[in-house]
Amino acid sequence: MAKMAASMVDSGEDAFRKIFKFYRRRNPPPDLTGVTDFSGGEPGDRVSGNDVEASRVGLKPVREWRAFGLQGYPGFIFISNPFLRGCQAFWVRQCLKTYPQKPNICNLDMHMNPSETQDIWGQSRWNFIFLTYKENRNTHTLLEKLRWVTLGYHYNWDSKTYSSSSHTPFPSDLHSLSSRVSAACGFPGFQSEAAILNFYRPDSCLGIHVDESELDHTRPLLSFSFGQSAIFLLGGRRRQDPPTAMYMHSGDVMVMSGQSRLLYHAVPCILPAAAGRSALEAEGPVPDPDPDRDLRDGALPEPVSQEDWTVCRRYIQTSRVNVTVRQVLEPGQSLPETRACSPQGTAAAAADRRSEKRKRSSGSTDSVHTSHT
């Protein structure tokens, strides 16, 4: 990998783009031997925190987390699946059933009326429960058409800004999870003010970008991954800097803070689970009863019903969900109020512009949202 990266830098301007294309390639499939896999490595001593608080959001005691740094990337922390067995199911269910609900905003709102996108889960779940899932069937449920959801301050893909006029309450459970993780990584008092959920189908990717729309860059950016695995490319401050490739598996958490907060990054491809069931499918929705855990009743996230789990399990058989949580403002700071407009009006225009952009770029690219690129 180091050799490949070096030869690419020599040959041209944008080393990141070349490596992105290398991992995006289908035929022949790319050589993955240089991809860092934290799930097997030796963790460092980077996190500390309160174990009972962690269990309330479905996380293992902090002292059991396997947290890694990456040489050359100060402030980047990779926590290899810190979730208690059975507890990821709760977060997958929230991402598929709860967070896409109004008043949150999703890609389907760009072209559909709020009444049509009111109950994405309810309109889709029977297909997952009763129909045999076929990759090639030509009608897709709304759940399968979901590409992104925004929470809190709703990111405006067009202007790449947040605004005080487009804000809805941030889910308190996701804030609890985020504040636990950020506190354990040395950032107490994290305010979850915006989140973007990305929903990846097998051919999806996420283009090369920096998350710089937030006004406070001293706070970390948190990323939670569920379902299928993916490759994550972490670059430098400049597009010419060749990125490091790493696997993201279900349950993995990444923290981009300090000097790593504003680095270029991208997701060039989703990696289907090896033959058989993915680790998360095998895990199921029921928390492992562990007699050694000192937990009070009700200290775990609420259990997921078998019916909800059936829908989630079938969805993640082919898909990946990523949640990035951001603090937008410094304490006491406020956002400018941009021209208030209905999500419909501007959003439809923005979506049209985005599809234009997609046509101009590589035709086969199914990017979860192109405006990042």
Judge whether 369 is annotated as a binding position: no
In this structure, which amino acid lies at residue 182? S
Instruction: Pick between residue 38 and residue 232 the one whose CB is nearest to ligand OGA.
Output: 232
Interatomic CA distance for residues 204 and 373, integer angstroms: 13
Q: Which residue is nearest to Mn ion (CB)?
A: 211
In whole angstroms, how close is the CB of 324 to ligand OGA at the nearest point?
A: 4
Interatomic CA distance for residues 134 and 142, integer angstroms: 15
Judged by CB under 6 A, does residue 265 bind ligand OGA?
yes
Per the CB < 8 A criterion, the answer to whether 111 and 351 are in contact is yes
Interatomic CA distance for residues 81 and 74, integer angstroms: 21
Instruction: Pick between residue 36 and residue 373 the one whose CB is nearest to Mn ion.
Output: 373
In whole angstroms, how close is the CB of 224 to ligand OGA at the nearest point?
A: 9
Instruction: Pick between residue 70 and residue 348 the one whose CB is nearest to Mn ion.
Output: 70
Judge whether 265 is annotated as a binding position: yes
Interatomic CA distance for residues 207 and 371, integer angstroms: 8
Q: What letter does residue 364 receive in the DSSP assignment? A: T
Across the beta sheet with 105-106, what order do the strands follow? Answer: 66-68, 76-80, 253-256, 221-227, 320-326, 194-200, 148-152, 105-106
Choosing from 211, 214, 241, 308, the residue that interacts with Mn ion (CB under 5 A) is 211
Choosing from 92, 105, 196, 304, the residue that interacts with ligand OGA (CB under 6 A) is 196
Using CB atoms within 10 A of its CB, is residue 95 exposed (0-12), middle (13-18) or buried (19+)? buried
In whole angstroms, how close is the CB of 344 to ligand OGA at the nearest point?
A: 24
Per the CB < 8 A criterion, the answer to whether 270 and 48 are in contact is no
In whole angstroms, how close is the CB of 61 to Mn ion at the nearest point?
A: 29
Instruction: Pick between residue 140 and residue 238 the one whose CB is nearest to Mn ion.
Output: 238
Q: How is residue 211 written in tokens?
A: 């998350």
In whole angstroms, how close is the CB of 233 to ligand OGA at the nearest point?
A: 10
Judge whether 154 is annotated as a binding position: no
Q: Which stretch binds Mn ion (CB under 5 A): 47-55, 207-215, 329-337, 354-362?
A: 207-215
Per the CB < 8 A criterion, the answer to whether 152 and 194 are in contact is yes
Number of residues near ligand OGA (by CB under 6 A): 12
Interatomic CA distance for residues 170 and 161, integer angstroms: 17
Per the CB < 8 A criterion, the answer to whether 370 and 209 are in contact is no
Instruction: Pick between residue 127 and residue 225 the one whose CB is nearest to ligand OGA.
Output: 225
Choosing from 124, 322, 346, 367, the residue that interacts with ligand OGA (CB under 6 A) is 322
Distance from CA of residue 217 to its chain's centroid? 19
Distance from CA of residue 169 to its chain's centroid? 20
Residues 205-224: x/- map of binding to ligand OGA (CB under 6 A)?
Answer: -x----x-----------x-
Per the CB < 8 A criterion, the answer to whether 369 and 353 are in contact is no
Number of residues near Mn ion (by CB under 5 A): 1
In whole angstroms, how close is the CB of 294 to ligand OGA at the nearest point?
A: 33
Judged by CB under 6 A, does residue 198 bind ligand OGA?
yes
Q: Which stretch binds Mn ion (CB under 5 A): 105-113, 177-185, 205-213, 362-370?
A: 205-213
Provide the residue count of the chain.
Answer: 373
Q: How is residue 50 written in tokens?
A: 């309160």
Q: How is residue 126 written in tokens?
A: 């029977």
Nearest-Å Rg of the Cα atoms of the chain is: 20
Instruction: Pick between residue 225 and residue 260 the one whose CB is nearest to ligand OGA.
Output: 225
Instruction: Pick between residue 104 and residue 322 the one whose CB is nearest to ligand OGA.
Output: 322
Judged by CB under 6 A, does residue 151 bind ligand OGA?
no
Q: Which does 267 bind (CB under 5 to 8 A by kind): Mn ion, ligand OGA, none?
A: ligand OGA
Residues annotated within the binding site for Fe cation are 209, 211, 265
Residues near ligand OGA (CB under 6 A) = 196, 198, 206, 211, 223, 225, 232, 248, 265, 267, 322, 324
Residues near Mn ion (CB under 5 A) = 211
